[in-house]
């Protein structure tokens, strides 16, 4: 797994909320494989697979898009990618860290983002 490959799973909120979270990560990881689109889905996913830095931080910064409902976000990837994603999301949204699990080469962190 490259240093910036990241899988993001989102539940809660709607497709607009999922897109807001994914767009917040684009400044750090570049464009995802695709934006969440299914309005009826209860779980959304996006994968970032970029070997280059897209920027120095989140794309929206303080005062970015607002969420309509709480969103549980699970980020999974290399420890560095998970750290960068967590830093970006906690800078852009009001977030609660719900824990981390580490494996040999991957890490998983869960955050609760609130409106």
Query: Rounded CA gap, 92 and 42, in Å?
Result: 23
β-bridge mates for residue 75, sequence order: 8, 109
Asked if residue 74 lies in contact with residue 108, where contact means CB atoms within 8 angstroms, the answer is yes
Query: Rounded CA gap, 88 and 45, in Å?
Result: 17
Residue 103 makes CB contacts below 8 A (sequence gap 6+) with: none
pLDDT at 104: 80
pLDDT at 55: 52
What's this model's pTM, rounded to 2 decimal places? 0.84
pLDDT at 5: 86
pLDDT at 105: 84
pLDDT at 32: 95
- Collapsed DSSP state (helix, strand, coil) of residue 81: helix
pLDDT of the chain, 115 residues: tens digit per residue? 455 689 999 999 999 999 999 999 999 999 999 899 899 999 999 999 865 455 544 444 444 678 999 999 999 999 999 999 999 999 999 999 998 888 888 999 999 999 9
pLDDT at 20: 96
pLDDT at 53: 53
């Amino acid at each position: 797994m490259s240093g910036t490959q990241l899988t993001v799973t989102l539940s809660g909120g709607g497709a607009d909320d999922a897109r807001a979270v994914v767009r917040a990560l684009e400044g750090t990881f570049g464009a995802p494989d695709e934006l969440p689109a299914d309005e009826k889905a209860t779980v959304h996913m996006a994968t970032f697979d970029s070997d280059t830095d897209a920027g120095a931080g989140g794309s929206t910064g303080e005062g970015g898009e607002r969420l309509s409902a709480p969103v549980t976000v699970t980020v999974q990837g290399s420890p560095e990618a998970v750290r960068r994603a967590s830093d970006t999301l906690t800078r852009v949204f009001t977030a609660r860290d719900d824990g981390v699990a580490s494996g040999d080469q991957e890490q998983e962190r869960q955050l609760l983002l609130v409106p």
